[in-house]
Amino acid sequence: MRTTQYLLSTLKETPASAEVISHQLMLRAGLVRNVASGLYTWLPTGLKVLRKVENIVREEMERAGAIEVLMPMVQPADLWEESGRLNDYGPELLRINDRHDRAFVLGPTHEEVITKLVANEINSYKQLPLNVFQIQTKFRDEIRPRFGVMRGREFLMKDAYSFHLGEACLQKTYQIMFDAYCRIFDRLGLDYRPVIADTGSIGGQASHEFHVLADSGEDDIAFSDASDFAANVEKAEAIAPLGERAEPTQQISTVELKLERLIKTSNIDLKNTVKTLLVLGASAAGEPEKFIALVLRGDHQLNEVKVENLSGIASPLTFATDEQISAIANCHITSLGPKGLSVDVIVDRSAAHLNDFVCGANVNGQSYTGVNWQRDCDEINIQDIRNVVEGDPSPCGSGNIVIKRGIEVGHIFQLGEKYAQAMNCGVLTENGKNQTLTMGCYGIGVSRIVAAAIEQNHDAYGIKWPAAIAPFQVAIVPMNMAKSARVKETAEALYAQLQQAGIEVIFDDRKERPGVMFADHELIGTPILLIVGERNLDEQNVEVKNRISGEKSLMAISDIMSLFS
Amino acid sequence: MRTTQYLLSTLKETPASAEVISHQLMLRAGLVRNVASGLYTWLPTGLKVLRKVENIVREEMERAGAIEVLMPMVQPADLWEESGRLNDYGPELLRINDRHDRAFVLGPTHEEVITKLVANEINSYKQLPLNVFQIQTKFRDEIRPRFGVMRGREFLMKDAYSFHLGEACLQKTYQIMFDAYCRIFDRLGLDYRPVIADTGSIGGQASHEFHVLADSGEDDIAFSDASDFAANVEKAEAIAPLGERAEPTQQISTVELKLERLIKTSNIDLKNTVKTLLVLGASAAGEPEKFIALVLRGDHQLNEVKVENLSGIASPLTFATDEQISAIANCHITSLGPKGLSVDVIVDRSAAHLNDFVCGANVNGQSYTGVNWQRDCDEINIQDIRNVVEGDPSPCGSGNIVIKRGIEVGHIFQLGEKYAQAMNCGVLTENGKNQTLTMGCYGIGVSRIVAAAIEQNHDAYGIKWPAAIAPFQVAIVPMNMAKSARVKETAEALYAQLQQAGIEVIFDDRKERPGVMFADHELIGTPILLIVGERNLDEQNVEVKNRISGEKSLMAISDIMSLFS
């Protein structure tokens, strides 16, 4: 490709609208342009990267035995009615009516369409297992699209769905897909981790997320410093402290200070205090509201997902209002404490291990010190309800927790029978009985990977693409070609030679100053720059610059092809 | 691919809902499945064909110097407001509101998005010409989707847009794209014709359609039987008959019969009669309505597009009601005639050439015979307002018109400045002045090509794919593999060998009767069947069946690879 016949569209300035580095660089390097909130046009350079990611994903899906299909983006709403998600999905599901006022949705995912298809096409156990995938445009009406294609509204996804007779068969395909995902991210050249994940609203049993590690990631991931263990912080278990709880050593006493103030004035360790929250309990229709107290160590954070998964808790998780707290404990939330509280109490494992601790006294502005669970409180229910923190023992039993940030680029689920049951998707078994299928589903954010790769691979000058997804393998940058026939001839000859060998080469034939050309190619992140200059041509050399290492060296023109072998 | 690990999904019965042969075969051969009206899932076999078409289109676009981008399917409505098409486009443009109630459309085409992009990205004449394309999903809310993917609502299209400084540059790219289109349809192996087309609602100047010839086509195309001339019947010029108009030979006389009845009773040739229509003339707001008579030879059909393009005619073309006709001529439409009519008269070239003709007398149930234009009628305006018919002299000056049916699969336009002007898309010229760009646009219906290829290439057994787009190059069909270890070994070895050589092979490893397997592969249209049977293995032969010619022959297993070299 000659630059003069290409749409380079690099920008010198960083657009003010772009908050994260990948979005800034994608705009500056001419990869995408914004069309409307969360909607982007992929420019030629960006599209080359996108297609390379897509091809690697496709190859590994095929290697894993998945078969490619293509489902429509516009889906009839009645399929979503059938699965029960039309109401559940919320406003991210864009609902539309056609000219005949029939209801449709813009597909954010395709469980319904594929389950319906399989229900119609597959009749016998002999046709199973079946694993189908597509690489297709999806739409999710994000309330606040941001970070460019990282959290856009229209985006490219690979979604795969597998169908099985029974759990064992699903487990086998799940493992095959897990391995395929690892191969994909290995081939993409990204530093990633598969992590144990919460299944979220898609439902189902086991689930792994694949994260590209980057400081700018939106998710916290808990690792063991001594094993392969990795889990989304939302899902990582906080295990109970070792040892038995000690006997009381102090008398309980009342202090005329709010807990917060007490900690400041009395040099109390936050780790020896507890905080108390009130949430709505689950109750049947018509029954009076019921509240439940949640108690955590003062230095720990509530994990709402863990609480929601407990029985007896209202879903979605709902915190008591100030008025409700007053009615129950006759005090403000900051003075709540577990002693003498007239509701059921759930205590986090770490808080439950405390002895002689400090807490609110359920009287405004008063605290207790020297509290002990067995001596001073009613019976408590001990659960894991907090986020893990760095230094916690790893739940795998080996090492301690380290927390890093990640960008979720893949997610695999064991869905179970949720969709197959709702949509009547079953087959005749060997015994002639009808059995509902068990499903898995497997997503990869193809366009998101492009942004994540940049978050992980950039420097002050621009993008440093992993070789497998660089838009061009090499750039030819001639110095003052207009003034030197020899430079022009050499550059043209090199270009012809590289093109003929099938190398993806960009030839910068613009009449620009060398500085401008270098800046553009460093920004775009082409791995190798071949600099053709008059002063090296006497020895028939060109300068080779490695974008990743920054190294420069002279190389004989006749040896250039060895760079690509 | 092994059939047992694939989603073959062939059907024995033709679904009643499918009207045309391509739709029937696409369902039966397991290429697509209907999701909702005009919405289809592409099954694996169909998607393979679709991708082959897509790849040929992409390669030829790149060869023509077009650069690939990817624009969003969801487009902000304000861009359509800016171009003026938001109101003009009608209900095929699906309008949607997002969760914030902002207006969007599902893109049926991308002139607005690309013109806006180019307006922002291109500033200098040095960056021109620019030719960009995308292969992308489009949505058109057809009032009555039918014929499967031939007239679906969501479909895959290649759309390209070129930008130029001036007409001459556009002409050059237009010719390059014309040639690229010919190469594409040549490579696809289709019998097609580029035809001169009407530009329709997209507007602009010159335009060609590319049609795949098939008896089931929706469009009539006029060809010369002696030259390359081809035009959509809507656009083909009906030239004036040769020679001078003769002098009157008969006296005009009144017959007490309606024209229709007169023709039946008096052995009058329809070709020597004229029929008269009344349409609304163009008039400024506030002016009274004005009517214009259109006169055609009795055996000719009005071409509404040609009439609409004449000056002085109301747009859209509006026929007078029975009441309006009565008010003007005091008779029914069937008794209208050009003599003595109190409105302007436009006469078709062929009708204008008649002498001593028969027409209505503007009195109910009465006709004139022996009418002559110069002697009996007021001044007339002679125009081309009819469809050409078979046997007409070709407007190219060589040969006569033959009419064939075609399926439109491509359309190229010279758009001129329509969009660039509306959206302020210009550059600085060499002289430093701002100049509006001139545009071309170039579409190919990628998914429609799959259906058109089938309409043109099928027989009673199924699809006969052109080699370039067959889903598989070859099928291995073993006879009773379960009972013969030798058949199984040979088939497996052949499969391994073909796969290793990169041949797209489907290995029918089902436990099915030979008849079922043959029927499926003939239906799917795989060009070559390799039939592995016990009785030929003594001589180390397999039977080779050519799907296109139907020929069968024995071939040594060791020679099989020569079929693919």
Contacts of B93 in chain A (CB under 8 A): none
DSSP state letter for B320: P
A73: which chain B residues are within 8 Å (Cβ-Cβ)? 73, 137, 139, 154
Task: Give which of B43, B98, B110 to mutate to test A binding, by max A Cβ within 10 Å.
Answer: B98
Angstrom distance (rounded) from CA B509 to CA B1: 10
Do B10 and B149 sit in the same domain of this protein? yes
CA-based Rg of chain A, rounded to a whole angstrom? 30
Nearest Cβ partner of A44 from B36, B67, B104? B67
Q: Residues A450-460: what's their mean pLDDT? A: 97
Residue A392 to residues A242, A348, B308, B355, Cα–Cα distance (Å): 11, 14, 80, 105
Show the tokens assigned to B189. 């192996």
Pairing status of strand B94-97 against strand B505-507? unpaired
Answer yes or no: do B70 and A76 touch at CB < 8 A.
no
State the pLDDT confidence band at A205, using cuts at 50, 70 and 90: low
* Domain identity same for A64 and A187: yes
What are the pLDDT digits (tens) for A262-303?
888 888 899 999 999 999 998 888 888 899 999 999 999 999
- The whole-angstrom separation of Cα A478 and Cα B553 is 60
Q: Would B245 be classed as within a structural domain? A: no
A169 and A288 inside one domain: no
Q: H or E segment at A274?
A: strand A274-280
Quick one: closest CA in B to A105, which residue? Answer: B96
Over residues A309-366, the pLDDT tens digits come to: 898 898 889 999 999 999 999 999 989 999 999 899 999 999 999 999 999 999 998 9
CB B473 within 8 A of CB B501: no
Are residues A213 and A88 part of one domain? yes
- Asked if A224 contacts A401 with a C-beta cutoff of 8 angstroms, the reply is yes
Residue-level pLDDT at B279? 95
Cross-chain CB nearest to B47 (options A68, A121, A141): A68
Is the pLDDT reported for residue A420 higher than 80? yes
**Chain B nearest-CA residue for A154:** B72
Q: Which of A202, A78, A181 lies closest to A133, judged by CA?
A: A181
A65/B5 Cβ within 8 A: yes
Report the C-alpha gap between B35 and A71 in whole angstroms: 9
* pLDDT at residue B261, rounded to an integer: 83
Show residues of chain B in contact with A67, CB under 8 Å. Answer: 5-7, 44
Q: Tokens representing B172? A: 């050059």
Question: Domain holding B480: CATH number?
Answer: 3.40.50.800
- In angstroms, what CA-CA distances link B270 with B297, B354, B357, B360? 8, 12, 10, 13
Distance of alpha carbon B13 from alpha carbon A161, whole angstroms: 28
- Binned at pLDDT 50, 70 and 90, residue A202 comes out as very low
What pLDDT is recorded for position B67? Answer: 98
Chain B partners of A71 at a C-beta cutoff of 8 Å? 35, 41-42
**Cα(A387)–Cα(B450) distance, integer angstroms:** 54
CA distance A135 to A184: 14
| The pair of three-digit structure tokens given for residue B381, joined into one six-digit string | 């305006």
CB-nearest to B70 from A42, A75, A102 is A42
Determine, for residues B33 and A117 on separate chains, whether the beta-carbon distance falls below 8 Å. yes
**R_g of chain B, CA atoms, integer Å:** 30
Q: Which residue type sits at B114?
A: I
Structural domain span for residue A504: 474-563
**Other beta carbons less than 10 A from residue A321's beta carbon:** 11
Yes or no, beta carbons of B120 and A36 under 8 Å apart:
no
- Please answer yes or no on whether A41 and B69 come within 8 Å at the CB atom: yes
Which chain A residues are closer than 8 Å to B161 by Cβ? none
Q: What is the pLDDT of residue A198?
A: 61
Does residue A74 lie in a domain region? yes
Q: Which of B9, B65, B117 is the closest to A33 by Cβ? A: B117
A&B contacts, CB < 8 Å: 139
- Judge whether A373 and A346 are in contact, CB under 8 Å: no
Cα gap B542→B565, rounded to integer Å: 18
Nearest Cα to Cα of residue B135 among B110, B158, B111: B158
Pick from A74, A94, A423 the residue to mutate for testing the B interface (most B CBs within 10 Å).
Answer: A74
Lookup: tokens for A116: 């319906």
Closest CA to A350 of A306, A301, A401, A308: A301
pLDDT at B201 over 90: no
What is the chain B residue with the closest CA to A27? B121
- Chain B nearest C-alpha distance from A46 (Å): 8
Question: Based on the domain organization, do A36 and A82 belong to the same domain?
Answer: yes
pLDDT at B205: 67
Domain end point (choices A349, A383, A417): A383
| Alpha-carbon distance A397 to nearest alpha carbon in chain B (angstroms) | 41
Q: Decide if A76 and B36 are in contact by the 8 Å CB cutoff.
A: yes
Which residue in the set B70, B76, B139 is minimally distant from A74, CB to CB?
Answer: B139
In terms of CA atoms, which chain A residue is nearest residue B79? A35
Distance from CA of B546 to the nearest CA of A (A): 27
Provide the shortest C-alpha distance from residue B15 to chain A (in Å): 14
Span A137-172, pLDDT tens digits:
999 999 999 899 999 999 999 999 999 999 999 999
Residue B464 lies in a domain: no
Find the closest chain B residue to A113 by CA distance. B35
Identity of the residue in A43, A141, A143 whose CB atom sits nearest the CB atom of B69: A43
Q: Are residues B46 and B148 in the same domain?
A: yes
Count of structural domains, chain A: 3
Measured at the alpha carbon of residue B393, what is the angle toward residues B390 and B396, in degrees to the nearest 5?
A: 115
* CB < 8 Å to B12, chain A: none
- pLDDT confidence tier of residue B259, bands split at 50, 70 and 90: confident
How many angstroms separate the CA atoms of B562 and B554, rounded? 14
Give B121-147 pLDDT, tens digit per residue: 999 998 999 999 999 999 999 999 989
- Owner of token pair 């597009």: B305
Angle subtended by helix axes A21-28 and A446-456, to nearest 10: 100
Proportion of chain A above pLDDT 70, given as a percent? 99
Residue A406's H or E segment, with its range, is strand A401-416
**Which pTM was predicted?**
0.89
- Does residue B414 share a domain with residue B374? no
What span, in angstroms and rounded, lies between the C-alpha atoms of B133 and B72?
13
Residue B469 lies in a domain: no
pLDDT tens digits, one per residue of A80-136: 999 999 988 989 999 999 999 999 999 999 999 999 999 999 999 989 999 999 999
Token readout for A35 is: 């069309």
Give, as one character, the DSSP assignment of residue A241: P
What does DSSP say about strands B401-416 and B438-445: parallel, antiparallel, or unpaired? antiparallel
DSSP string for residues in B271-286 = GGBEEEEEEEBP--TT
Letter for the amino acid at B503?
A: I
For residue B154, which residues of chain A lie inside 8 Å, CB to CB?
Answer: 72-74
Q: Strands A32-36 and A74-76: what pairing?
A: unpaired
Q: How far is A91 from chain B (nearest CA, A)?
A: 6
Cβ-Cβ contacts under 8 Å for A114 (sequence gap 6 or more): A69, A71, A132, A161
Q: What is the mean pLDDT of chain B?
A: 93
Tell me, what's the ipTM? 0.88
- Asked if pLDDT for residue B203 goes beyond 50, the answer is no
Phi and psi angles of residue B521, each rounded to the nearest 5 degrees, phi first? -75, -30
In A274-372, alpha helices (H): 304-308, 322-329, 349-352
- Average pLDDT of span B511-526: 94
Q: Look up the CATH number of the domain holding residue A449.
A: 3.30.930.10
Residues A305 and A415 in one domain: no
Highest mean pLDDT among A221-230, A429-438, B71-80: B71-80
The half-sphere exposure of A485 on its side-chain side, counting CA atoms within 13 A, is 0
Residues B276, B213: one domain? no
> Which chain B residues are closer than 8 Å to A98 by Cβ?
94, 141, 153
Query: What is the arrangement of strands in the sheet containing A94-97, beginning at the earlier edge strand?
Result: A74-76, A103-106, A94-97
Q: Is residue B388 assigned to a domain? A: no
Q: Is residue A48 part of a domain?
A: yes
A44 → chain B, closest CA residue: B69
CA B350 to chain centre: 29
Contact (Cβ atoms closer than 8 angstroms) between residue A475 and residue A4: no
Q: Has residue B493 got a pLDDT over 90?
A: yes
Q: Is residue A468 part of a domain?
A: no
Q: What is the pLDDT of residues B229-246, one digit of tens each?
A: 898 888 888 988 887 777
User: How far is the alpha carbon of B316 from chain A, nearest alpha carbon, in Å?
Assistant: 22
Residue of A nearest to B100 (CA): A143
Classify the phi-psi angles of B178: left when phi > 0, otherwise alpha if psi is within -120 to 50, otherwise beta. alpha
Number of H helices, E strands in chain A: 16, 30
Closest-CA distance, A246 to chain B, in angstroms, reads 55
Q: Closest Cα of chain B to A97: distance in Å?
A: 8
User: Where do we find the tokens 């002409």?
Assistant: B171
In chain B, residues with a C-beta closer than 8 Å to the C-beta of A76 are 35-36, 39
- Integer distance in angstroms from the first to the last C-alpha of chain A? 21
The number of beta carbons lying within 10 Å of the beta carbon of residue A461 is 15
A549 shares a domain with A406: no
User: Which positions in chain A touch B116 (Cβ < 8 Å)?
Assistant: 35
Q: Which of B383, B418, B438 is the last residue of a domain?
A: B383
Nearest to B187 by CA among B67, B70, B65, B63: B63
Residue A338 gets which letter from DSSP? S
**Confidence (pLDDT) at A201:** 43
Angle of CA points B361, B367, B370, to nearest 5°: 100
Residues of A in contact with B39 (CB under 8 A): 72, 74-76
**Chain A nearest CA to B450, separation (Å):** 15
User: Which of A330, A356, A383 is the endpoint of a domain?
Assistant: A383
pLDDT at B165: 94
Look up tokens 């997209």; give the residue: B202
Q: CB-based burial of residue A281 (10 Å sphere; 0-12 exposed, 13-18 middle, 19+ buried)?
A: middle
Report the CATH number that the domain containing residue A363 is assigned in CATH. 3.90.960.10
Is residue A388, in this structure, part of any structural domain at all? no
Q: Taking 80 as the threshold, does the pLDDT of residue B24 lie above it?
A: yes
> Distance, in angstroms, between B82 CA and closest chain A CA?
14
Which residue among A69, A76, A137 sits closest to B42, beta carbon to beta carbon?
Answer: A69
* Contact check, Cβ <8 Å, B69/A47: yes
Residue B200 has a pLDDT of: 46
Both B105 and B139 in one domain: the answer is yes
Reply yes or no on whether the pLDDT at A204 is more than 60.
no
pLDDT tens digits for range B55-73: 999 999 999 999 999 999 9
DSSP-derived secondary structure for B392-445: SBPTTSSSBEEEEEEEEEEEEEEEETHHHHHTT-EEE-TTS-EEE-EEEEEEEE
| Nearest chain A Cα distance for residue B270, angstroms | 44
Residue A537 to residues A478, A483, A499, A556: CA-CA distances in angstroms?
11, 14, 21, 9
B109 with B215, same domain: the answer is yes
Cβ-Cβ contacts under 8 Å for B309 (sequence gap 6 or more): none
- Chain A residues within 8 A of B153 when measuring between CB atoms: 74, 98
Burial class (CB in 10 A: 0-12, 13-18, 19+), A300: buried
